[in-house]
Structures are given as C-alpha cells and as structure tokens.
C-alpha cells in the first residue's frame, strides 16, 4: 500500500463513500496510486500491472467518474468492461456494486454458459450504466442490434487482463467488438495487462487514441535500488536551487553529452517554478506535469522518450511508470511520499541492463527521510561548498525576478500545501509550517513578503487563523491559486 488516500482524489463524494465504507479501503495500492490520477485527466492508459494489485478499482474509479461527467444517452450504457473469464467478470461486477453502492448506478454482468434470452430481457428492461462482459458473450449480443444501439454513446471502455484475453484466442472477438463501438476518439479506453507482448501493443493501437500513456507499475525498479549508485545531498533552503544546478551540471558532464536526466519534484507547480527558473538561466529543460494540456504532455513525453541530451522536470502524476529508455540520472528534489515512491522513481534509470545513477536532494528539515531508506545503499554526500553555492545565487535571483508573479504565487501555495500534508513526518505544528513556507518564499523566491492566499484556500488547508498567512482582500493583499 501507499500513503495516498482515496479521500484525496477529486471524485464524487458517494463514490468515495462506497470505497471507504462499503469496501473498507482508505489508502491506495501502488497500481491505483500510479494510474488513477492520470486516468482522471481523461487520457487513454495502457497499464502494465500484475494481478492482485488493486487493478479493478484502478479502472473502476476513473470510468465511473467519466460516466458521471459525460452526458448519458437515454437507454445507453456508459461503461463497458471486457474480461477474459466469467469468474473475473463476476468479481469485477461485485466490486463495482460495492464501490457504487450509494450512487444508484445499474450494473449487469454477461458471460457464456448462461441463458442469453435472460440477459436480453434484463438489458431491455433496465439498461445498465456499467456492463461487464466476456468477449464471446459480448459478441453474441452485438449480433442483436439492441446492444449495439445501447453502446452507441459509450464513454469508457476497459480491457482487463489484455494479455490473457489474447492468449485465450479472443483477439478476433475483441476486434469484432471494437468495430461495433464508438471510435477511440469518442471514448476513454483503459487497457490493463500483466505483460506487454507485441499482440497487446497491436490491440492497443486499434483500441486506443494515438496519444495514450503507458504506465508501468511492474517495471524493473524492484531490483534497481539494489545495484544503482545512489546518494543523498542535504542542504539549506537557501542553497537548494544552486545545489540542484550543480547536480545537473555534474550529471550532464558524467554522461559526456549523451545525458537523459529526469528530475522529480513534489508538486506540479513546484515543477513549473523550477523549470521556468532553469530555462530563464539558460539551462534548457523540458517540463511535464498535470497543469499542462494533454497535447503538451504527449509532445514533451515523446520528445524525451525519443531524444538524447535532454533534461526533463516532472511531477509524479504524469510520469509514474512511464517507459523512457536510456535515462542516465534520476534526481529527486524534496521528500518522497514514502520509500516505495523513492524506489519507483529510481526505477526510471538503469533499465534493460543500462547504467544509471540516483540522487536525492533534501532540505535539512527533510533529512529524517533518510532513516526510511536506511536499508538501501544510499550514500550521504556532502553538499557543494558555501563559496561555490553563494557564487550562483546572484544569477538565480536575477532569473527569479524575470519569472511571472503567478508562477511564484502558485509555487508558494503548492509548497505550503505539500508541507502541510507532511506535518506529522516533519514533526511540525501549523505555526512552524507557515514559518518555513514563508521563509521559502522570501529566501528562495526572493520576495519581500509571502504571497497572499484566498481565504477559502487557507480554510481547505485547515490553516485558518494561523499567524503569518496573508489573506487576499485584507489590507490590500492580493493573491492567486495553484496546486
């Protein structure tokens, strides 16, 4: 399990209630944490995930959410889930029934070996919102135009256990079913498979939009952390950006110009801030995170995947499990959510027998995280000397002055929100949190005072009344939102 909570997802309240109350789940599995936030953006997903890792909820949640947001055709089915066996189909149906218990959604499961006329009567009497089917029985019904018409407004399609579907000889049945469904451009498609043989990739090209994202929750990271050189650098808040620049220079130098570096940040807005800062300083970096449009993310992802001599700044939401070959270094800036996330990020390098290196850059107040990875071969590395770091600060500060105010405001808010979610791990109270976040705004972003926040934002963070926060509209303060 991860520390990511279902409660934090931007989904329907009754769906959350079904997950937490009817199913009894509070935190997400690794597969759910890696796929759900990406799927909720509406992009098609090709997910590599083992059986027994929480896959069912990983695709159910985004499908139900999409169905709620899409205008439903009268008498139409919103979600179709294709499963290789009747047992798995029934299991998916039962889990979906629990998850949607408080939502009034209709579900139906159809598979071979049962009375097809009984299926038809049920489909006609009360069209389901979610239909779970095995491929053979699905095609039996598609020969009857009633089901084809009911699927004409489909908003989401799931192919579960895709490798097993194909191994069992269902490719012709799947291709026939796809011909009777709305085109990929008119729906979201989620394809889950434990392995990625060529025929799975071939089906994905037929079933999915061309800009689908591959999310690998199996990968090679399970062993990467055992053999890849890893170091941790602990520095002061003031020296964080200069230290990052020096680490990047070293990573570029060590790869002799053939570098391919991924830098992970804790939030989308902090990714944006550091990317804009580096670009303003003449160090070109690519930027990918959830605040970018899908077309922008696809373009950057393809550029990094197919290129060399590149640096990409990213947040976890859009990069977890992505398949990028030949990554020479992974740098993680800020405290990871847990040991599993640290290992998973590290697994982006040293793939397919290639070399690689991992560096963790922490502020001094985050150093306790090193105890969480004490059983890993992470070597404590001394930060650069003060003189070297201080020499970079004038250039850093000059570049920060050229950044848009909105970039700084949203970065401050995002940093405050991230640290707020880690109060217990950091051992802080809320006064200490605000003090550190304000110091960061003034020390790192060189602001004369912390940005103002909207009162409702402060309330959502549970920080109402905490000294040191500036509220928009009070005493002439003004501020903006971010995340």
Under the banding of pLDDT at 50, 70 and 90, the label for residue 145 is: confident
Does residue 220 register a pLDDT over 80?
A: no
Q: What is the pLDDT of residue 473?
A: 77
The Cα 46–Cα 33 span in angstroms is 15
Q: What is the pLDDT of residue 87?
A: 81
Domain boundaries, the chain: 6-216, 221-389, 404-483
Does residue 324 register a pLDDT over 90?
A: no
pLDDT in tens, 238-280: 999 999 999 999 999 999 989 999 999 999 999 999 999 999 9
Q: Of 40-44, 435-439, 469-473, which range is least confident?
A: 469-473
Does residue 9 register a pLDDT over 50?
A: yes
Q: What is the mean pLDDT of the chain?
A: 91
Averaged pLDDT, 452-473: 94
Q: What is the pLDDT of residue 480?
A: 43
Does residue 219 register a pLDDT over 70?
A: no
Fold: same for 6-216 and 221-389: yes
Under the banding of pLDDT at 50, 70 and 90, the label for residue 195 is: confident
Does residue 322 register a pLDDT over 70?
A: no
CA distances to 119, 415, 433, 434, 468 from 409, rounded to whole Å, are 56, 10, 17, 15, 16
Q: Are 157 and 191 in contact (CB under 8 A)?
A: no
Question: In CATH, what number does 221-389 get?
Answer: 3.40.50.300
Q: What is the pLDDT of residue 476?
A: 47
The Cα 178–Cα 184 span in angstroms is 9
Under the banding of pLDDT at 50, 70 and 90, the label for residue 337 is: confident
Q: What is the pLDDT of residue 374?
A: 95
Q: For the chain, what percent of residues have pLDDT higher than 90?
A: 73
Largest CA distance in the chain: 81
Q: What is the pLDDT of residue 291?
A: 86
Does residue 223 register a pLDDT over 70?
A: no
Does residue 321 register a pLDDT over 60?
A: no
Most confidently modeled of 124-128, 153-157, 167-171, 192-196? 153-157
pLDDT in tens, 393-447: 999 999 999 999 999 999 999 999 999 999 999 999 999 999 999 999 999 999 9
pLDDT in tens, 268-320: 999 999 999 999 999 999 999 878 876 787 788 889 988 999 999 998 754 54
Under the banding of pLDDT at 50, 70 and 90, the label for residue 163 is: confident
pLDDT in tens, 117-129: 999 999 989 999 9
Main-chain dihedrals φ then ψ at residue 353, nearest 5 degrees: 80, 0
Question: In CATH, what number does 6-216 get?
Answer: 3.40.50.300
pLDDT in tens, 51-98: 778 899 999 999 999 999 887 666 799 999 999 988 889 889 999 999
More confident site: 49 or 277 = 277
CB neighbours of residue 295 within 10 Å: 9
In terms of Cα–Cα distance, which of 199, 121, 188 is closest to 158? 188
Q: Are 467 and 431 in contact (CB under 8 A)?
A: yes
Q: For the chain, what percent of residues have pLDDT higher than 70?
A: 94
CA angle 7–365–30, rounded 5-degree value: 35
Does residue 384 register a pLDDT over 90?
A: yes
The Cα 410–Cα 412 span in angstroms is 5
Averaged pLDDT, 182-211: 92
CA distances to 46, 220, 323, 368, 478 from 225, rounded to whole Å, are 25, 10, 17, 19, 45
């Amino acid at each position: 399990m991860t520390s990511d909570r279902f409660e934090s997802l931007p989904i329907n309240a009754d769906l959350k209630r079904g997950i937490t109350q009817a199913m009894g789940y509070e935190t997400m599995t690794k597969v759910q944490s890696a796929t759900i936030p990406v799927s909720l953006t509406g992009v098609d997903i090709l997910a590599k995930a083992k059986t027994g890792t929480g896959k069912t909820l990983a695709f159910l949640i985004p499908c139900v959410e999409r169905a709620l947001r899409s205008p439903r055709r009268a008498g139409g089915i919103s979600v179709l889930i294709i499963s290789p066996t009747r047992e798995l189909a029934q299991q998916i149906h039962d889990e979906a029934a629990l998850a949607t218990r408080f939502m009034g959604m209709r579900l139906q499961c159809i598979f071979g070996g049962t009375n097809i006329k009984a299926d038809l009567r049920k489909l006609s009497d009360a069209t389901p919102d979610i239909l779970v089917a095995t491929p053979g029985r699905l095609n039996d019904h598609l020969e009857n135009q009633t089901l084809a018409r009911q699927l004409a407004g489909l908003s989401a399609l799931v192919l579960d256990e895709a490798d097993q579907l194909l191994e069992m000889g269902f490719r012709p049945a799947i291709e026939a079913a796809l011909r009777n469904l709305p085109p990929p451009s008119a729906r979201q498609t989620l394809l889950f498979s434990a392995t990625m043989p060529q025929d799975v990739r071939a089906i994905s090209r037929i079933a999915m939009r061309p800009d689908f994202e591959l999310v690998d929750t199996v990968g090679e990271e399970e062993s990467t952390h055992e053999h890849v050189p890893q170091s941790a650098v602990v520095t002061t808040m003031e020296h964080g950006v200069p230290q990052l620049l020096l680490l990047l220079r070293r990573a570029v130098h060590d790869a002799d110009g053939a570098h391919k570096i991924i830098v992970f940040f804790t939030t989308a807005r902090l990714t944006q801030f550091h990317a804009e800062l580096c670009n303003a300083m003449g160090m070109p970096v690519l930027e990918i995170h959830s605040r970018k449009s899908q077309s922008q993310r696809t373009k950057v992802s393809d550029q990094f995947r197919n290129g060399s001599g590149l640096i990409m700044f990213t947040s976890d939401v859009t990069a977890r499990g992505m398949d990028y070959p030949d990554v020479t270094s992974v740098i993680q800036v800020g405290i990871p959510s847990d040991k599993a996330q640290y290992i998973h990020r590290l697994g982006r390098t040293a793939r397919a027998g290639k070399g690689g290196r991992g560096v963790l850059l922490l502020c001094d107040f985050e150093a306790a995280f090193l105890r969480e990875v004490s059983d890993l071969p992470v070597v404590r590395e001394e930060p650069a000397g003060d003189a070297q770091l201080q020499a970079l600060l004038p250039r850093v500060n000059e570049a920060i002055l050229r950044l848009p105010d909105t970039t700084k405001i949203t970065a401050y808010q995002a940093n405050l929100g991230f640290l707020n979610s880690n109060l217990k791990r950091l051992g802080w109270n809320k006064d200490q949190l605000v003090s550190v976040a304000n110091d960061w705004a003034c020390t790192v972003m060189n602001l004369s005072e912390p940005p103002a926040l909207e009162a409702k934002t402060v309330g959502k963070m549970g920080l109402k009344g905490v000294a040191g926060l500036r509220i928009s509209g009070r005493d002439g303060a003004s501020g903006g939102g971010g995340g």
